[in-house]
Structure 1
Amino acid sequence: MGIEWYRDLVIIIAGVLIILISFVILLLVISIYRKTNALYERSQCILRSLETTTSVVEGFAQYATRELIKPVIEIAALFQGVKAGIDNLFHRRK
């Protein structure tokens, strides 16, 4: 067994180790890809849910403005007008 035999043995062992390490790295890359893909799908689901919730809240805000706040503002404006008329009628000045 000469030095050539040890050299060939080292080359074979290094080749086998490189193949094993490459296989492990490939498995890690595939695992990371699957996890990030699953995370992306979940985030897309959450974004769709958030968009739906936003549209519902926007619809409620429009309904509340149209049906609740606008009549209150109109009644408050009516009372302010009546008060201004009464103040003007009795010449009250501030």
Structure 2
Amino acid sequence: MAMNVQHSHLQKVSNRDRFYSPDILPLLQTVLADLADIDVAYEKNLEAIKHSEADEGRKSDMIASLWHQHRERRAPYIQELMTLRERIDATFS
């Protein structure tokens, strides 16, 4: 059964009506995807450490090291998010 659905309430935004640079959204999506990838890799490695046969002291050391590496890997992406946020805020102020 075919249905005729109209989306008259959805309007295409012309380049003239944009409030922000069109490169912001793709950059934001890329940074968020990269952060998600980093977080998934961290969780996977964390689970591997937790289920390893290492003694608890060694596991704690490995987890602490992993956490430090994780934060270092995320830092430039967090900085990029902050920069994008400043651009967005500047656009709407």
Relative to the length of structure 2, the TM-score reads 0.38
Q: Kindly indicate which of the two structures has a greater share of residues assigned to helix.
A: 1
Structure (1 or 2) with the larger CA radius of gyration: 1
Higher RCO by CA contacts (8 Å cutoff, separation 6 or greater): 2
